[in-house]
Amino acid sequence: MNEAESDIELALRPLNIVSRILGLPHFSAHRDAFTGRVKRGDSRNVVWCVVVLCTLMTGFIINIISVQFSSVSYVFEIVAFIISMPIGYFGALLAVFGGMTFSRNKFSRFIVKISEIDKGLFGPKRVRIYSKQFASCIRQLVLLLFILIPFYCCDSYVFRSEVKYVYGFMHVSSLMKEIVILQYINVVWMVTDRLQYLNRHLEKSLELPAEILSNKRMAVNTTCLSKYEHTNQICPLRFNNYKNAGMLVSDFSVRRATRSICQVENLIKLRTLYDKISEVAALINGMYGIHVLVELTYNFLNVVLSIYGVIGVLAGSLKLNPTVSSSCYIAIYVCWILVSVVSVLVISVSCHRSSAEAEKCHQKTQKLLLLEPLRQETRCQLKLLSQQLSNAKIVFTACGVFAINLSILYNFVSSAATYVIVLVQFK
């Protein structure tokens, strides 16, 4: 990649192209060749967004009409057609409508912030980082589309006689929601990578000899020099000859002060970078918080519905298409369970890793404060960094309702088991 192609928005180009096709242009941005400013996607995409929005609304209306004219009597059908499907449509409609309204310019601000962070954190290594991001996006899209599209086609074939055209619209909305979650995962991973590099820079900024970190002034009078010479048998004009050959005692205080200034400058730089990373995390919560909340809700209902479907097929309490075997039904339900659980797992693990990296940075700062001896200026900056890490924690939330971490997996599984038991009792 040349210099013009090293920008982060071009590293996300594969995901941008798919997002535009699906009517999600808020995830696309470009840099003006003359001004250098990052702008959102072309305004002509608004027309395509309106077309996609109308298509989804058509599918939702067809779904409502099909439910009204059908005899919904089983608990399975109530959960599937009255609760789960509308939430799926709502997530897709929200993704398109949100991209046209409240998330319209947030991705451009995200691009600007990430570019500023990368300039100070990576320097000339940005090209290599962005090349890896570009290749990663291609792999993710190939894997996602290779799995979801055949699965959606198979699912539509199995349930074709029961819901007719509804499943086609529903699968389009499901694919759009998965692309939005893929966007979310990628931007969270970007924050995690920047925090990892920040931790490395924090370690390197204080990897200095103990003499340089010392807060004590070195004595330069003749008595001390004679005593040091008698004890260590080295030249009186040298200090610590085996480590710092050629360093004069008269030069040591100057070099110590210079290294101390470098330490303070590095810590101030790290504090500035962390502040920008926390702003990026806040932008991500603003862009995707409500989408993640809807997606987690939909996946929860989908898992409950699919488990109940498997139980119903095994017990013979569900109406089945006579042309399709019961094993095919079970296979489809199990696949839906896997898709939903994997989606929740990837979201929770990605957010947990990012928060864990921020916490690791805090722990390293606390350990560095315990080092002795430390110069007063260095200790002061470390205390400020520790306070900043405590006050501006990087936590990803589902629209502020709850924090996203590994604990939601336990809540997800336990709640799904509880609701399945309740549904079985209603049978």
Walk along the chain (427 residues) in steps of 10 and give the mean pLDDT of each run.
56 89 75 53 72 88 72 61 82 88 83 89 85 92 91 79 67 91 94 92 66 41 38 40 42 48 83 93 93 94 88 79 81 91 95 93 87 79 89 91 91 90 77
List the domain range (segments joined by +) for residue 404. Answer: 3-206+225-239+248-426
Is residue 414 included in any domain, yes or no? yes
**DSSP label at 222?**
H
| Measured CA distances, 160 to 48, 165, 320, 324 (Å) | 29, 8, 12, 11
Is residue 357 included in any domain, yes or no? yes
- What confidence score (pLDDT) does residue 45 get? 73
- What confidence score (pLDDT) does residue 290 get? 93
Is residue 157 included in any domain, yes or no? yes
Is residue 386 included in any domain, yes or no? yes
- 0.85 surpassed by pTM: no
Which of these, 183, 5, 173, lies nearest to 110 by C-alpha position? 183
Could you give the number of structural domains in the chain? 1
DSSP-derived secondary structure for 73-135? -SHHHIIIIIIIHHHHHHHHHHHHHHHHTTTTTHHHHHHHHHHHHHHHHTGGGHHHHHHHHHH
- What confidence score (pLDDT) does residue 44 get? 60
**How many CB atoms within 10 Å of residue 95?**
31
- What confidence score (pLDDT) does residue 236 get? 39
Which residues are CB-contacts of 6 (< 8 A; sequence separation ≥ 6)? 126, 127, 130
- What confidence score (pLDDT) does residue 4 get? 38
Which of these, 25, 14, 15, lies nearest to 49 by C-alpha position? 25
Is residue 214 included in any domain, yes or no? no
Give me Rg for the CA atoms of the chain.
Answer: 29
**Backbone angles phi and psi of 372, in degrees to 5:** -130, 135
- What confidence score (pLDDT) does residue 13 get? 87
- What confidence score (pLDDT) does residue 379 get? 85
- What confidence score (pLDDT) does residue 376 get? 84
Is residue 217 included in any domain, yes or no? no
What interhelical angle do 166-205 and 249-315 show, nearest 10? 160
- What confidence score (pLDDT) does residue 293 get? 94
Residue type, 144: L
Is residue 215 included in any domain, yes or no? no
Is residue 219 included in any domain, yes or no? no
